[in-house]
Amino acid sequence: MKRSLIHKSGAVLLALALWQGISMLVNMDILLASPLKVIKRLATIWTEKGFVSTVLFSLMRITCGFLIALALGIILAVLAGRFSIVETLLWPYVVTIKSVPVASFIILCLIWFSFNQLTVFIAFLIAFPVIYSNVLQGIKSADPNMLEMARLYDVSWGRRLLYIYVPNIKPYLISACSVAVGMAWKAGVAAEVIGVVNGSIGEKLYNAKIYFQNADLLAWTVIIILLSVVIEKLFVFILKKIYEGVEKL
């Protein structure tokens, strides 16, 4: 564990050194700012007026979209696991969402919705199929021996769900959340950039591109990565706590 951490830290330092080397070689900040310049920008960016409101704007909308996807993904996967007709009826939507490029959805949403709803909807749209498919897979992979036991003992659907399916979907749900949070952030910010949503992180990225502020672009990117990782860890932590509570029932 400790050794692996040392190896990973070494790899990160090597990547940063490579980045520094390339930026020195290019020697044009508008093309590639050096890591040192990005760190310097990060040290000042959070003190600027409007930083907190910009972060909160995107954070709340992306989290909201993810939470809706989480709730709806779980509910519909449970229903699809119980009634195969639900799975069949949802199949075309899930396949479409998975295969249509996110940019197409963003442009469609710009026509249909207001800018305020765009981020929420895109984050939802990208996270939903991941959560739905994973949870459904978890339900389908429930131990047939346990299900046979439950059938023999005439266990109600509710208790089967709690004692057999819920523990079984745990690894699927946690892995889905880890992936879906990152995807929701990527798609959500992309939507903000394309839609130039006022007061969002995406707008900051757009402005950085317009004004050739490469250090700003990379500093905001670092902030997005940090937010995404923190939110992912937080959700996984909350899920594990919920599971601990359920297991004590």
Partner 1 sequence: MTDIKVDGLTKRFGEKTVLKDVSLTFRGGEITCIKGPSGCGKTTLLRILAGLETEDSGSVLGVPEKVGFVFQEDRLSEDFSAVSNIRLVTGKTLPKSTIESHLKEIGLGNDLAKPVREYSGGMKRRVAIVRGVLYGADLLIMDEPFKGLDTELKRTIMDYVKKYTARKTVICVTHEPEEARYMGGILIDMEDLNK
Output 165 or 185, the one with its CB closest to partner 1. 165
- Residue 140 corresponds to which amino acid? K
185-244 residues in contact with partner 1 (CB under 8 A) are 243
- Of how many residues is the chain composed? 249
Backbone angles phi, psi at 13, to 5 degrees: -60, -40
Using CB atoms within 10 Å of the CB of residue 137, give its burial: 0 to 12 exposed, 13 to 18 middle, 19+ buried.
Answer: middle
Q: Is 156 helix (H, G, I), strand (E, B) or coil?
A: coil
Output 101 or 158, the one with its CB closest to partner 1. 158
According to CB under 8 A, which one of 16, 72, 110, 150 is a site residue for partner 1? 150
According to CB under 8 A, which one of 97, 155, 174, 236 is a site residue for partner 1? 155
Using CB atoms within 10 Å of the CB of residue 61, give its burial: 0 to 12 exposed, 13 to 18 middle, 19+ buried.
Answer: buried
User: By CB under 8 A, which span of 39-47, 48-56, 124-132, 148-156 interacts with partner 1?
Assistant: 148-156
According to CB under 8 A, which one of 85, 148, 240, 241 is a site residue for partner 1? 148
* Residue 27 within binding range of partner 1, rule CB under 8 A: no
Output 30 or 246, the one with its CB closest to partner 1. 246
Q: CA-CA distances (angstroms) from residue 245 to 30, 117, 170, 175, 236?
A: 51, 34, 13, 19, 14
Output 48 or 154, the one with its CB closest to partner 1. 154
Sequence-ordered list of residues with C-beta below 8 angstroms from that of 92, at least 6 positions apart, any chain: none
Per rule CB under 8 A, count of chain residues that contact partner 1: 20
- Determine the straight-line distance between the first and last CA of the chain, rounded to whole angstroms: 33
According to CB under 8 A, which one of 159, 233, 240, 241 is a site residue for partner 1? 159
According to CB under 8 A, which one of 99, 156, 210, 245 is a site residue for partner 1? 156
Q: CA–CA separation, 237 vs 230, rounded Å?
A: 10
CB of 246 to partner 1, least distance (A): 8
CB of 20 to partner 1, least distance (A): 48
- List interacting residues with partner 1 (CB under 8 A): 143, 145-146, 148-150, 152-156, 159, 163-164, 167, 170, 243, 247-249
